[in-house]
Amino acid sequence: MALMPKRVKHRKSQRGRIKGNATRGNTVAFGEWGLQSLDPGHITAQTIEACRIAATQYVRGEGKLYIRIFPQKSVTSRPLETRMGKGKGEPDHWVAVVKPGTVLFELAGVSHEAAKRCFARVAHKLPVNVRLVERRPSV
């Protein structure tokens, strides 16, 4: 797997509930255009990598892509055909926990139409509803 933390404090984490809206990481900080989540959810490391490939193939070197999420929560799974009991399964894959309002990806150096088309390709791969947001001028 490409995206996973080098070290974690706890090997297996509990699922938990995704409550509330994002208070951090909810504004466009690096680029001019951003892709903002409208729903809560988990985005796997494979999905983030697929989105990165789709965006970079569309941009083709003229713009810069920023990935604002990182998969740092492990999801465990039990082997098939094992009986009940015997504890929790081993870590299977890694996910990024996303709240509504989190900016997932950003683009710099492209026009509005190019960003719209690029993020439309990325949105097809994501399990959450998203929208295109613009960077606000600083006061």
What one-letter code names the amino acid at 101? G
78-101 pLDDT tens trace? 888 888 888 888 889 999 999 999
Q: How confident is the model at residue 15 (pLDDT cuts 50, 70, 90)?
A: confident
33-78 pLDDT tens trace? 999 999 999 999 999 999 999 999 998 888 999 999 999 999 999 8
The domain tally of the chain equals: 1
Given a contact cutoff of 8 angstroms between Cβ atoms, the answer to whether 40 and 99 are in contact is yes
Given a contact cutoff of 8 angstroms between Cβ atoms, the answer to whether 120 and 68 are in contact is no
Range of the domain at 112: 31-73+92-132
pLDDT at 13: 87
Whether 120 is covered by a domain: the verdict is yes
CA of 53: how far to CAs of 10, 12, 73, 99, in Å? 30, 29, 22, 23
For 85, residues 6+ apart whose C-beta sits below 8 A from its C-beta are: none
Whether 111 is covered by a domain: the verdict is yes
- Alpha-carbon distance 132 to 29, whole Å? 14
57-67 pLDDT tens trace? 998 888 999 99
